[in-house]
Structure 1
Amino acid sequence: MTTKELQQYWKQEKHEAKPVKVLFEIQSSRIAEDFLSKFVMYKIVILKTGSFDGSKVSIERRYSDFEKLHRNLLKDFKDEMEDVLFPKKVLMGNLTEEMINKRVLALGDYLVELYSMKCIRRSKKYIDFFIDPELDEAYSCLRGGQYGKALEIFQQIICLQEKLTEHCLVVMVPSLCAVVVCYKDLEDLKKAYEVSLKALALLEKHPGHRYYIPLLETMISLAYKLGTDFVSLQEKLEKGEKKMRQGLEIPTVTLKELVVKECVH
């Protein structure tokens, strides 16, 4: 192949039609303001396609959030994104109905275009765009003892992660464990145990994961209080500790201590 033919080949490969698994729709917008300026918040609805999705979830982002995402992705995927169109910044008229409507369409198309590229939709920078602000708020609420509010936000985050991280669901473990901690401190031990089972299922193939031992210790305590089987959990714990020890002392940290340390900047 000549250089030109090779470039054409990769261009074709890059734009090859792929089945869409997640649908992004900018459903609405609103003008917000802080002490410095006015800006537009765009409501993004994320929905799975191909089957009924009863867990439709939405987030709000402003143009500057999209702009930051674009800059960050270009650092890692400049070649892959050479043909991706991003709506340019305008100095005047960005709050007019006409401009907002144009951006609603353009930003929606932008998210779909990014998702069509496997390397991007699986990148941490892309996924962080959808969950980072909410994660910061959720952990802040948890550390402040606002367990009910934290629980509500974490449940939304988990819905997003289920849609966006099918390639590596183990990344949901910290969020699930945060939910366990919230339910436990709200004294809903049954729900805490149910969620911990989901987290453990994701960790079965990752016994070296930092959450594995603390989660099992919490589950044993919950199972004992609920009067359910904890012997099998105890066996998993002993097996996991033996595998991790390898002559070294295992650091003693509780699940709550581990969760509280997450997302600290």
Structure 2
Amino acid sequence: MESPEHPESPGWTGPVTPCTTRTRQEAPATGPDLLCVGPDGHLDALSGPSSNSSMTTRELQESWQKEKGHWKPVKLLFEIASARIEERKLSKIVLYQIVVVQTGSFDSGPAVVERRYSDFEQLHRSLRKAFAEEMEDVAFPRKRLAGCLAAAAVGERARALREYLRQVHALRAVRRSREFADFLTRPELREAFGCLRAGRYARALELLGRALPLHEKLTAHWAPARVPALCALLLCHRDLGRPADAFAAGERALRCLQARESHRYYGPLLDAMVHLAYALGKDFVSLQARLEESRLRRPADRSVTLKELTVREYLP
């Protein structure tokens, strides 16, 4: 069951401060290079020479442009790689295999999911409802009643659905929406959390391993959205007797919550991390201090364990 606190991600507890793209003149004059997610979802390198530099304005601009040129824009590309017909009791359905590839030098591998035409229809209805103005000129491929399972018809529809995904992803508001992320990740995450609730930790890990990389790509603009899935990863590893892997997953989740100590996962996650750090012989004292500070601000967190909180996500 997702939290209603934010329209795009579970567990939102505060406003998002967007990272704006700077112009060349606004590039920082001192300090280390910074990575910033710009308004189009690209990673830009913002860097500048030392304030003691004797460069002219033109030389400064050329230097900045040269540094920026080392970074490649990050985009998601969609392909319908194949389609297969699956027979059900009373009907046949077509499952389209969607391959999502992140361009640039940051992708560790493509993500692959399967969706039905009716799933695309539901996505389109949701997007039209949430983004009526942005979706006004986006056409959805019509369903053919006759011969819709013929190879030629399936191939034609696959190409049309691929183009549809590319069009909606080009809309900034849509590609950052919860509706779009849910379309590509929700079925797998919902099944993974169901396996977690049932104690099927190995199967949950398998599903999370497939869904999390794509989920991270889709939520690059809002890291706290990944916290529930990362906490599920922690719990699965912990309950399978893999404390080191569990601690690593917890560290990733804590990084997503930097400067967000009021987040509902922050206290329960720290509590779990304290116990893992103690068992692994790591520094648990600093984690314990952070936990005590959190409990002074939010006493209610003391009564909820990380597992009790996590298993509530993605309930049917």
Q: What TM-score results when the alignment is normalised by the length of structure 2?
A: 0.75
Which structure is richer in relative contact order (CA contacts within 8 A, separation 6 or more)? Answer: 2
> Which residue of the partner structure matches residue 177 of structure 2?
123
Q: What amino acid does structure 2 have at the position aligned with 1:259?
A: T
Indicate which of 226, 243, 258 corresponds to 2:309: 258
* Alignment check: 8 A CA contact 2:267 2:301 kept: no
> Which residue of the partner structure matches residue 106 of structure 1?
160
Distance (whole Å) between structure 2 residues aligned to residue 188 and residue 153 of structure 1: 17
* Alignment check: 8 A CA contact 2:85 2:94 kept: yes
> Which residue of the partner structure matches residue 14 of structure 2?
none
How many angstroms does 1:251 deviate by? 5.0
> Which residue of the partner structure matches residue 164 of structure 1?
218
Q: What amino acid does structure 1 have at the position aligned with 2:259?
A: K
Q: What amino acid does structure 2 have at the position aligned with 1:197?
A: E
> Which residue of the partner structure matches residue 10 of structure 1?
none
Distance (whole Å) between structure 2 residues aligned to residue 132 and residue 259 of structure 1: 15
Unaligned runs of 5+ in 2: 1-39, 43-72
Q: What are the Cα deviations for residues 11-32 of structure 1, in whole angstroms up to 9, with x where unaligned?
A: xxxxx9x977101111111001
Partner SS for 1:166: coil
Residue 87 of structure 2 is aligned to residue 33 of structure 1: yes
* Alignment check: 8 A CA contact 2:257 2:266 kept: yes
TM superposition outliers: structure 1 runs of 4+ over 3 Å: none
* Alignment check: 8 A CA contact 1:177 1:196 kept: yes
Unaligned runs of 5+ in 1: 1-15
Distance (whole Å) between structure 1 residues aligned to residue 302 and residue 225 of structure 2: 22
Distance (whole Å) between structure 1 residues aligned to residue 147 and residue 74 of structure 2: 34
Q: What amino acid does structure 2 have at the position aligned with 1:253?
A: V
Distance (whole Å) between structure 2 residues aligned to residue 45 and residue 94 of structure 1: 22
* Alignment check: 8 A CA contact 2:97 2:112 kept: yes
How many angstroms does 1:129 deviate by? 0.3
Distance (whole Å) between structure 2 residues aligned to residue 109 and residue 66 of structure 1: 12
> Which residue of the partner structure matches residue 46 of structure 2?
none
Partner SS for 1:210: coil
Distance (whole Å) between structure 2 residues aligned to residue 221 and residue 55 of structure 1: 33
Pairwise CA RMSD: 1.6
* Alignment check: 8 A CA contact 1:28 1:43 kept: yes
Distance (whole Å) between structure 2 residues aligned to residue 53 and residue 74 of structure 1: 30
Q: 1:102 to 1:186 in 2, by over 3 A?
A: same
Distance (whole Å) between structure 2 residues aligned to residue 46 and residue 65 of structure 1: 17
Q: What TM-score results when the alignment is normalised by the length of structure 1?
A: 0.89
How many angstroms does 1:62 deviate by? 0.6
Give me the identity figure in percent.
48
> Which residue of the partner structure matches residue 122 of structure 2?
68
> Which residue of the partner structure matches residue 143 of structure 1?
197
How many angstroms does 1:135 deviate by? 1.4
* Alignment check: 8 A CA contact 1:157 1:175 kept: no
Indicate which of 87, 96, 102 corresponds to 1:48: 102
> Which residue of the partner structure matches residue 241 of structure 2?
187
